[in-house]
Amino acid sequence: MSLPDIKIVNPQTGQPFASTYSGTGAGFGGQMRTWSPSPRTADAALLPGLDLGNARADDLMRNHGIAHGGVQLHIDNIVGHMFRLSAKPKWQRLGISEADARAFAKDVEAAWVEYAEDPVGCYMDAERKRTFTMLIREGVGCHTGRGEIMNIVDWIGDRPDHLLKTAIKVVSPLRVSNPHQLMNNAELRNGVRIDRRGAAISYWVRDTADHNYGMGDGFGSTWKEIPRETGWGRQQFIHVFEPTDDGQTRGVNKFLSVMEQIHMLSKLQNTKLQNAIVNAMYAATIESELGPETAFQVIGLEDGDKKLEDYMTLIADYHKGADIRMNGVKIPHLMPGEHLNLKTSSNADNGFGELEAAILRYIAAGLGTSYEQLSRDYSKVNYSSGRLSMMENWRHFMGKRKVIASRHASMIYAAVLEEMIDRKWVTLPRGATRNFYEGKAAWCNAEWIGSGRIAIDGLKEVKEAVLRIDAGLSTYEKELAIMGEDSQEIFEQQVREIAERKEKGLPPPSWMKTQALAPDQEDASNAAESAAA
């Protein structure tokens, strides 16, 4: 017996359906029948709700611990306590020797630290509140919460105590908008004026009000247009974000995809807390077996309120005087017909912990962190799973460091280095075939060293680093950068320490060898040699 040939046909055409992706259909049981999002460009999807989305993200960062902690995780893992410059001019493209390039880089780094990391003067910040590292930390936090970083490269000539005139003015992305609430068009999109290719030409920045901070939003009523760069290529407005689609003009904050879950998590936790408080308020009750008939006799048909009040006063006086204790423990002595009912809390978990953890995992995935880091819950991880989680996070943070923090830092560095060279703070090496403007990218090339990778087991991490160096798979520069250190600073400090120890009659430091750090490899090697003999 042959099986019947069954075909599903389109009821409108009578023809079989064409083979398509299941995701484009109605779904099993029609679950996706009403899900019909329209295709939109990046700007069409983002810009209409940009202000509301950023305002909601700001509210979460101010008032929600998980949201604030997620932003802080990005700041601490991407930037850390200091964002170090490692200048690396492309000497091959500049007509100078490698030795000259290293000498120039060392001179630039010393001048940079003097100006950029001055904790007292804070001359790099136009507001004189932040060092360079603080600017980058704030920028990473702003990018996480608002999707973009915006700065004005200012020129301050009326401060005689300034070492340099270049200063950075932090600009909130909330202040960049169309002047007088103009509608977006082909050349102006949410405060950014663009050319026909989509490149930014200038930015409209709204001023801040000098009054009504307690009543209004702090924004003024005038806008100023800031060009992206000068005629000779000096950047005047810094705008850093990571576009995800063609023609995107503004950045997307990381909270937009998980904002609903964070908001509802707060309500869920508050409701659970209120429930626990109510259940904990009553530890015991005294119940009476006084029946309705007896109650009416006590109260009386007339003047019932007075009778009830007298009865309750009698009970209160009785319990107040019945203070019976044995070895310091109070023993209740009840009136006839009463019994003590101890209340047990009904605040059982009822799956709340699992639900909360599931929501936190969803939020962590949206923010690019692990559940353990976001929730600070490491109770269910071992070394292997913990290290795997940390390594996955490290990839995410290193990508953001390269694309966001390092780009932001390099833009500031290029503006400052230009003035340093112009003021003869640093001098270009002799014989260079290209000046600063001809080889700007080559002169300003640099690496930025931020926080080090977290080591779950410090000894194993050091073994791994030493073995990579010994096998020729890595260098001291790379391994120390992973630890958040500058190899040149470490080497110079080691030279000083060796000289000081020798001067004071101390033995030289014993450098650990790979075999000493990895005894298992040494034992295996010895066993192999013995077997061969």
pLDDT in tens, 327-338: 566 656 666 666
Nearest partner of 252 among 42, 39, 38, judged by Cα: 42
- pLDDT band at 24, cuts 50/70/90? confident
115 pLDDT exceeds 90? yes
Cα–Cα distance list, 487 to 107, 127, 287, 434, 444 (Å): 16, 33, 76, 29, 20
**DSSP 8-state code for residue 118:** -
Strands 237-240 and 192-194: unpaired
Structure confidence at residue 34 (pLDDT):
86
Q: Comparing 27-31, 33-37, 250-254, 351-355, which segment has the lowest mean pLDDT?
A: 27-31
301 pLDDT exceeds 60? no
343 pLDDT exceeds 70? no
Of residues 500 and 333, more confidence is placed in 500
110 pLDDT exceeds 80? yes
35 pLDDT exceeds 90? no
Structure confidence at residue 325 (pLDDT):
64
- pLDDT band at 349, cuts 50/70/90? low
Of residues 530 and 55, more confidence is placed in 55
503 pLDDT exceeds 60? yes
Structure confidence at residue 213 (pLDDT):
58
Tokens of 23: 């995701």
Rounded to an integer, the average pLDDT of 358-382 is: 91
Tokens of 378: 């490491």
Structure confidence at residue 447 (pLDDT):
95
Cβ-based neighbours of 453, under 8 Å, separated by 6 or more:
390, 394, 482, 483, 484
- pLDDT band at 516, cuts 50/70/90? very low
Structure confidence at residue 154 (pLDDT):
95
Interval 202-261: pLDDT, tens: 999 999 876 655 567 788 889 999 999 999 999 999 999 999 999 999 999 999 999 999
Distance CA 177, CA 219 (A): 11
Structure confidence at residue 388 (pLDDT):
86
Whether 154 and 126 have beta carbons less than 8 Å apart is answered as yes
Structure confidence at residue 514 (pLDDT):
41
SS (H, E, C) 73-105: HHHHHHCCCCCEEEECCCHHHHCCCHHHHHHHH
Structure confidence at residue 3 (pLDDT):
63
